[in-house]
């Protein structure tokens, strides 16, 4: 297995404007290819936007959603992948022949669809059906998995994906800068975004504090470290519908160290080279080999009464 160069991105999407969002995806894919990247990863629902979907009826969602892989957005991603010789991961809303709606992240190369992961824990709109399986596929000999946003907060999902062989887990998100019961959480004033050129300091303090990056750093490095995997985190920046997002897209190695991160207050792509030797050098590799499933297999798989409901703040 040889080195793999991976890019992650942040960009300000437009709600429901697939043509515009795909034009940005193409521009950033071209930039990643110029950096020598083999793969580029975009955020959750990067093709159509995300937060606006909380307002949509099922009929309106169906109008936005597409068949996968036969829909026009997958065909466009395939054209971009062929043009720049790069593998692309991006997200959208999906519908099937029975008008079920899902929220997948797809992986596409010049030949078409490589993989599709349907979000296991969707909550932006009650008409979206959860996926029911993990996703493992290969890119240039590397075993990869995908977990979308809230999927990653249930730690069993990350462990299961690693146990199925994933060496890289792509984690597309639309997260941070929203209220929560955790201390320090909350919205960030959109006025700071529009005033970012004259006052970047105030915006950066909000983006990097407990509303944003400081919260991310409480758990994201642990997902990489505990499981001995590379993590490719992608998140939008700027306005997503009426909510401001802070980007911070990054790539972490199996030691939990950040090896590339978007830090501009604008659209950006960064890349890093993934080397296979780190996988076996990591603590997570040793921890997985030291597991004692006999101690906890009947505990982890036990049914439980849900202690909470996820509520999307309108």
pLDDT of residue 314: 38
Q: What is the pTM of this model?
A: 0.96
- Residues 141/117, Cβ–Cβ less than 8 Å: no
3-state SS, residue 271? strand
pLDDT of residue 1: 87
What value, to the nearest 5°, has the Cα angle with vertex 75 and ends 250 and 169? 25
pLDDT of residue 285: 97
Q: Where are the domains of the chain?
A: 4-300
Ranges of the chain whose pLDDT falls below 50: 311-314
pLDDT of residue 303: 85
3-state SS, residue 94? strand
Q: Tokens 């059906």 belong to which residue?
A: 129
3-state SS, residue 79? helix
pLDDT of residue 251: 98
pLDDT of residue 307: 54
pLDDT of residue 306: 65
Question: Is-cis flag, bond preceding 69, omega within 30?
Answer: yes
pLDDT of residue 301: 87
The Cα 41–Cα 228 span in angstroms is 20
pLDDT of residue 191: 98
Sheet of 112-118: strand order equals: 112-118, 104-109, 87-91, 39-41, 4-10, 268-274
Which tokens sit at 278? 């780190």
Give 152-168 as a DSSP string: GGSHHHHHHHHHTT-SE
* Helix H or strand E encompassing 112: strand 112-118
Encode pLDDT of 161-209 as tens digits.
999 999 999 999 999 999 999 999 999 999 999 999 999 999 999 999 9
Name the CATH superfamily housing domain 4-300.
Answer: Carbon-nitrogen hydrolase (3.60.110.10)
pLDDT of residue 309: 53
């Amino acid at each position: 297995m040889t080195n793999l160069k991976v890019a992650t991105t942040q960009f300000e999407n437009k709600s429901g404007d697939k043509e515009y969002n795909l034009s940005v995806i193409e521009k950033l894919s071209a930039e990643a290819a110029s950096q020598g990247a083999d793969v580029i990863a975009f955020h959750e629902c990067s093709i159509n936007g995300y937060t606006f979907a909380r307002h949509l009826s099922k009929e309106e969602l169906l109008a936005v959603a597409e068949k996968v892989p036969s829909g026009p957005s997958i065909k466009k991603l395939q054209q971009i992948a062929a043009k720049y010789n790069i593998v692309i991961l991006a997200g959208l809303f999906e519908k099937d022949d029975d008008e079920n709606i899902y929220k997948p992240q797809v992986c596409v190369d010049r030949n078409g669809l490589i993989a599709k992961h349907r979000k296991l824990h969707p909550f932006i709109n009650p008409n979206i059906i959860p996926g029911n399986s993990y996703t493992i596929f290969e890119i240039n000999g590397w075993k990869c998995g995908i977990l979308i946003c809230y999927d990653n907060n249930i730690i069993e999902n990350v462990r299961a994906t690693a146990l199925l062989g994933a060496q890289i887990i792509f984690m597309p998100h639309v997260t941070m800068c929203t209220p929560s019961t955790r201390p320090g959480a909350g919205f960030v004033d959109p006025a700071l975004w529009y005033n970012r050129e004259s006052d970047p300091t105030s915006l950066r303090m909000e983006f990097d504090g407990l509303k944003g990056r400081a919260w991310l750093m409480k758990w994201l490095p642990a997902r990489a470290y505990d499981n001995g995997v590379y993590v490719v985190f992608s998140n939008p920046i700027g306005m997503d519908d009426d909510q401001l997002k802070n980007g911070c897209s990054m790539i972490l190695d199996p030691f939990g160290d950040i090896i590339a991160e978007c830090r501009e207050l604008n659209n950006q792509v960064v890349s890093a080279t993934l080397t296979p030797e780190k996988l076996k050098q990591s603590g997570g590799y040793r921890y997985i080999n030291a597991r004692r499933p006999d101690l906890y297999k009947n505990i982890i798989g036990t049914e439980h009464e849900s202690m909470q409901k996820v509520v999307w703040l309108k």
